[in-house]
A = this chain, B = another copy of it.
């Protein structure tokens, strides 16, 4: 049940579906979605690949389970920490700093962005994005923007965030350092979040 990794030799008994799902998530964080393969995972868990199919009907089902697990945790941590903040501008700012600093969750999000190719990844990322987008839109409305303005602004802000992650993944040279990152986030918020 624990969300922390349980590595190879550390187990005594037999495995559960959850163990496989967690191993898959760890693999995504370490080496990306493509690295989630039955044989290597079985090796890592110290069993034969045949046993995998007692727990899941397919590799895809494992991926889906792992991603659902991630989705639940990320939703709870992100929105759980945001709800108590009353001021909409503060909340917008908090969303970005949170999402940029929650380390492991953030690493996995980046990996998923890279693997949008995969049919199991798309719906999860889609739901997460939609939730965040709705949240941003609502906050902009509370901050006094009209319906369409709020929608456009939310889309622009979230696109700026996702695109920024993408750029950081893309650029070989010129990847940003921590300070520069903070400066950029400041610029983004100053430009896109209404200060009135």
Residues of A within 8 A of B (CB): 32-34, 111, 113-117, 122-123, 125-126, 129-130, 133, 152-153, 155-156, 158-164, 166-167, 169-174, 183-184, 187-188, 191-192
8 Å CB contact of A116 from B114, B156, B159, B162: B114
A107 to chain B, nearest CB (A): 14
Q: Helix, strand, loop or mixed for chain A's interface? A: helix
CB <8 Å contact, B164 and A155:
yes
CB <8 Å contact, A113 and B156:
no
Quick one: copies of this chain in the complex?
2
Considering the chains assembled together, what is the distance between the CA atoms of A171 and B132 in angstroms? 12
A66 to chain B, nearest CB (A): 16
What B residues does A130 contact at CB under 8 A? Answer: 170-174
8 Å CB contact of A129 from B123, B160, B167: B167
Most buried by B among A130, A158, A167: A167
Tell me whether A117 and B160 are in contact in the complex, defined as CB-CB below 8 angstroms, given that A170-B129, A184-B152, A184-B155 are known contacts.
no
